[in-house]
Structure 1
Amino acid sequence: MPAKEARMFSPMDFTTQELVLRDSVIASLNSSQSLHQVLETTRAPLLEFVQADAVALCLMHVEPFDFQWLVPGPRVPILDGYAELAQHDFLRAPILARPNVPIRDTQLLSRDEYERTLIYQRSRELDPCLEHIMAVLLPIRPGFVGALAFYRNLRRPFTSQSATALSSLNTHLMNTVRNCGDIQTTATGAHLLEQLYRRPDTAFVVVEPPHREVLRSPHAAFLLERWFAPSDIHASGLPLPLKERLDALVAMTPDARLDKTLWVSLHADGYRLVRFIELPALEGPRKWALLLHEIPISIPLPEEMKRKLTSRQVTIAMCLLRNWTNEQIAGELGLSLHTVKTHVRDLFDRLGIDGRADLLYQAARLNKPV
């Protein structure tokens, strides 16, 4: 059943006391940015409002299937071994088919059928016995969902009023799980960025197109000052070659950007590379990170060899002289492994050499002073 078949909230479905309790649940759902803390704070009013003895939230990736149970309050022992029971969970398929619709065990099975399920039998062994279960699926984002399960330890089935109470909270529950997850992801990214920023060898610039620079690491400032003359600097603070490449990438489709996200400049002391990475954003303009690298050249590529090669082959030949593998070259230059292998084969043919060792030997011989 589609999500739209879930009942909309109507104050007429509740008494004044129940509405006050519902408001308490909603306030608790907004009490913290930590999902664990939110569940602990919300547990008591939520259980009272839905009329249940225990609650648990299962965060699930649908394909491939994996899960994590969050249980506020006392443990629900059967969930510790849920991996063995997942294929026997008679509620999982129905709630996946009907997101936002609370489903009760009594809607699916007779009492005799329920008592023969592995979940019921195992709960009797572990205690407390799960005499009744109600669950609802909360769509969080594509491929990722939350399943909120409620349990009763006495033979008192969940009623339609309990389902109505749960249904009235669906939007608030979804938003809480989604927002807490987004905040955690952002906090993790911010922490990682801070750690990278503090490393003396890390060079990056974060830009919000078209002109606003958000962050520049100290080593990036050092490299850019050494790489570019003051006349090369755009009013935004970025060097013109990098600003022009960023403007071009922003205007391209993702497919058109392939093989164009790496800027390479060859100098006597080595390579100067800048990789352009579009950062994810929940809303608003997307920022871009510019990662700066310097790659020294141990054995210079002789001019005699350069004249026989294309510019791309020159770049790859210099990587070979640093004893890089094809995989390393592909990763650094943003090329496919197949493309790198093709370039390596072609440049060997153009130079008339038979392999990497011969390339190093011939380059060293040609570079030897007369």
Structure 2
Amino acid sequence: MFSSLKLNAKEQMLWFRATYALGSSLSLSKVLEAFRPLILELAQADAMALCLMHAARSPGYTWVIPGPRIQLLEEYDRLIEHDPFRKPIFARPNWVVRDTQLLSRKEFVGSLIHQRSLELELRLDHVMAVLLPIRPGFVAALALYRNRPRAFSPRNAAVLTSLLEYLTNAVRNCSDFESFTIGANLLEEFYRGPDTAFLVVQPPHQEVLRSPNAAALLDRWFTPSDLHASGIPIPLQERLDALVRMTPAERRGKDFWVSSDGERCRTVRFVELPAPEGPRKWALKMNELPVSIPLPEEMECKLRPSEVTVANLLLRDLSDKEIAAALGLSVHTVKSHVKRLIDRLDVDSRSDLLYKAARFNKPV
């Protein structure tokens, strides 16, 4: 494409500078600021705007405009249905479309977008646009504008076409970096958060990461004699070893560990982390709640009043005998209540009840 353009020496210099500008930063605004004067000179345009469109977001588009504001695009919500470029560029991505290919001069001058540009003293006399597929569900549309009655030529379109691959990569790379940065910031907040505690382990016995709060919890929960040679507590190491040997289906309902010291309920959830390559790692997310865990509304609504009373005592980690004494019931009656409420709540055991109640009260 570049060799067929027959650019003169000045245009070649501008073209190479434009490709360099598109790879000069991982900030999209900085990339577009550097690219704007070069593409405007190469394509003989007066203004430029990039529209980012995400299928899964609301609103579905965002305009990024380097240089002076284009007030018309601030009203795009009410003009979108009158945009003659939208359907053609979506129908044929990576095809640079000029207004003269879609409308007669009379039709373009009479369009709502052109009339509104005159009212705003913008005078957008000609437009050239193209749709760039970035990734599934995410596209970008570049628009170049002229404020004089001289149409964009096929050569102008060819110059822009020669830069589309570089522009697409720039938008993709900047978007990926922005997502990575946001994710890293969230992870940092998560890592330092006062209510967050997690351990990352690479099976069989290699500890990868321990958050500050996890270190404090593990010191409180376990003694030195409870630790595996790797430094990971033996009960957690044994549960992890068992989960690693299971299929994903077999792990359901078994991917947690619950313990109590009489005052606090300790819970650990085991989560296998995705990995594009190499060994899978596991996150052990820890939490600690008072033993007297409130019965969540989501559970209470499934139980009869007598079962609610028993469930609340179970959540205080009382035995059947202690519950029977507290309620003036026989141990047999208490056991019947416990069996029914476990069935109604679709939990596997007392430990499972404690764990799921803890998750409802404070997700782990």
| Higher Cα Rg, which structure | 2
- Residue 233 of structure 1 corresponds to 228
CA contact (8 A) 2:71 2:120 kept: yes
Aligned length: 315
Residue 274 to residue 92, structure 1, CA distance change in 2 (3 Å): farther
Cα distance between partner residues in 1 of 2:231 and 2:166: 42
Give how far 1:178 is off: 1.2
Alignment of 1:70 with 2:64, yes or no, is yes
Shift of the 284–46 alpha-carbon distance from structure 1 to 2, 3 Å rule, reads farther
C-alpha distance 100-295 of structure 1, shift in aligned 2 (>3 A): same
Partner of residue 30, structure 1:
23
**Distance across 2 between alignment mates of 1:160 and 1:223:** 68
Aligned to 1:302: 318
Amino acid at match of 1:186: F
Q: CA deviation at 1:129?
A: 1.0
Please list, as runs of the form range in 1=range in 2, the aligned pairs for 1:311-350 lying within 5 A after superposition: 312-315=348-351, 317-318=353-354, 328=360, 332=363
Deviation at 1:164, TM superposition (A): 1.1
Residue number among 141, 155, 165 corresponding to 1:161 in the alignment: 155
1:313 Cα shift? 4.9
2:267–2:355 contact (8 Å) kept in structure 1: no
Q: Specify every segment of 5 or more residues in structure 2 that has no aligned partner in the other structure, as ranges.
A: 293-312, 321-333
> Residue 275 of structure 1 is aligned with which of 259, 269, 281?
269
Q: Is the 8 A contact 2:199 2:207 kept in 1?
A: yes
**Structure 2 letter corresponding to 1:233:** H
Q: Deviations over 1:146-197 (max 9, x none)?
A: 1111101111111111111111111111111111111111112222222333
User: Does the 8 Å CA contact 1:234/1:240 hold for their aligned counterparts?
Assistant: no
Provide the C-alpha distance between the structure 2 equivalents of 1:94 and 1:51, rounded to a whole number of angstroms.
23
Is the counterpart of residue 142 in structure 1 residue 136 in structure 2? yes
Residue 218 of structure 2: aligned partner: 224
User: 2:177 is matched with which residue?
Assistant: 183
Deviation at 1:18, TM superposition (A): 2.4
TM-score, length-scaled by structure 2 = 0.75
The change in CA–CA distance for 1:210 and 1:72 in structure 2 (over 3 A counts) is farther
TM-aligned CA deviation for residue 77 of structure 1: 1.1
Q: Is the 8 A contact 1:306 1:314 kept in 2?
A: no
Q: For the structure 1 residues 58 and 97, does the alpha-carbon distance in structure 2 shift closer, same or farther, using more than 3 Å as the test?
A: same
Aligned-residue sequence identity (percent) comes to 44
2:102 aligned with 1:86: no
Distance 1:208 1:319, change over 3 A: closer
Give the Cα separation in 2 of the matches to 1:261 and 1:169: 54
Paired position in structure 2 for 1:247:
244
3-state SS of paired residue (1:312): coil
CA distance in 2, matches of 1:136, 1:261: 52
Mapped to 2, the partners of 1:257 and 1:96 lie a distance apart of 45
8 A Cα contact 2:207 2:230, kept in partner:
no
Answer yes or no: is the 8 Å Cα contact 2:206–2:230 preserved in 1. no
Q: Give the one of 29, 33, 45 matched to 1:40.
A: 33
Q: CA separation of 1:132/1:289 partners in 2, compared to 1, >3 Å: closer, same or farther?
A: farther
Paired residue for 1:57, among 28, 41, 50? 50
Q: How far apart in 1 are the matches of 2:184 and 2:135? A: 22
Classify the secondary structure of the residue corresponding to 2:166: helix
Give, in whole Å, the separation in 1 of the partners of 2:209 and 2:267. 19
Give 5+ residue unaligned stretches, structure 1: 1-8, 334-370
- Tell which deviates more after alignment, 20-29 or 266-275: 266-275
* Distance in 1 separating the partners of 2:219 and 2:40: 61
Q: Distance between the aligned counterparts of 1:111 and 1:280, measured in 2?
A: 55
Q: Distance in 1 between matches of 2:250 and 2:142?
A: 41
Of residues 5, 10, 35, the one that matches 1:13 is 5
Over the aligned positions, Cα root-mean-square deviation in angstroms equals: 3.2
TM-superposed CA distance for 1:290, in Å, is 3.2
How far, CA to CA, are the matches of 2:273 and 2:206 in structure 1?
A: 15
Cα distance in 1, alignment partners of residues 68 and 254 from structure 2: 51
